[in-house]
Structure 1
Amino acid sequence: MTAASRKPVSCLWCGRELASAEIGRRRRYCRQSCRQRAYEQRNAVKGTSIPTDAVVLTADAASALTDRIFEVRCAAEDIASAVAEDADRSVLTALADRLVALARDAERFR
């Protein structure tokens, strides 16, 4: 399989899209700092009952993620309302662009 035919891969720590490598092993992290944070996370849960692939969030981070998901739902409802009201294409385009931006923001939870 060539690098061009591979689907985009995201950093396992922060979720940013990784540049495809032409040769060698596929990258798992976008930066050394993300690799280091992942290492620290794996070592922090070693010897506990917490699974190594668990994501531990503070209450504030969990609340912020919930807020971002709510914004995505509201933006989707705005699009549905605009379609039902036969809104202009430019309005729909603007609403769709906003939805995509909110969804991208919600994907990054770290």
Structure 2
Amino acid sequence: MDSERRRRPYACAWCGRPVVDSETGRRRKYCKRACRQRAYEQRAAVGGSAVPADAVILSSTEATELVDRLFELRCAAEDVATAVAERASHAELDDLCRRLVEQAGDAERLR
């Protein structure tokens, strides 16, 4: 069971792409070396400032896009709730749930 959990993808700490670990060793935080380097550069840039080292700095465009993705996610969740309340068909619920999971994955991306 533990090996199954380790192989389950999770989001890269820098770009949000899926990261899949091997069965041994420490869990990776980044999907590739470039993401690890960008994260290091960001930590080095904020070192000695009032910005916490683990802060995620987004441009206004990135923040707006994130808010938009979260809004779409909430709308998809409301669509599922409405369909359940209206006793929608299994096929319709399946389609709505698939869309909800897809949008949740998109909302995880920070960059």
TM-score by length of 1: 0.87
Counterparts of 1:46 and 1:76, CA distance in 2: 39
8 Å contact 2:21–2:27 — kept in the other structure? yes
Tell me: CA distance 1:30–1:72, structure 2 relative to 1, closer, same or farther (3 Å). Answer: same
Structure 2 residue runs without a partner (length 5+): none
1:17-56 Cα distance to aligned partner (Å, 9 max, x none): 3232344443222111101101111111011100000111
Percent identity reads 54
The question of 1:47 aligning with 2:37 is answered: no
Residues 3-42 of structure 1 mapped to structure 2, 5 A cutoff? 3-4=3-4, 6=6, 8=8, 9-42=10-43
Counterparts of 1:12 and 1:19, CA distance in 2: 13
TM-score by length of 2: 0.86
Give runs of ≥4 in structure 1 deviating > 3 Å.
2-10, 22-26
Counterparts of 1:98 and 1:4, CA distance in 2: 25
CA RMSD of the aligned region, Å?
Answer: 2.0
Deviation at 1:7, TM superposition (A): 6.6
Name the stretch that deviates more: 6-15 or 45-54.
Answer: 6-15
8 Å contact 1:3–1:20 — kept in the other structure? no
8 Å contact 1:21–1:27 — kept in the other structure? no
Deviation at 1:6, TM superposition (A): 3.4
Tell me: CA distance 1:59–1:85, structure 2 relative to 1, closer, same or farther (3 Å). Answer: same
Provide the aligned length of Structure 1 versus Structure 2: 110
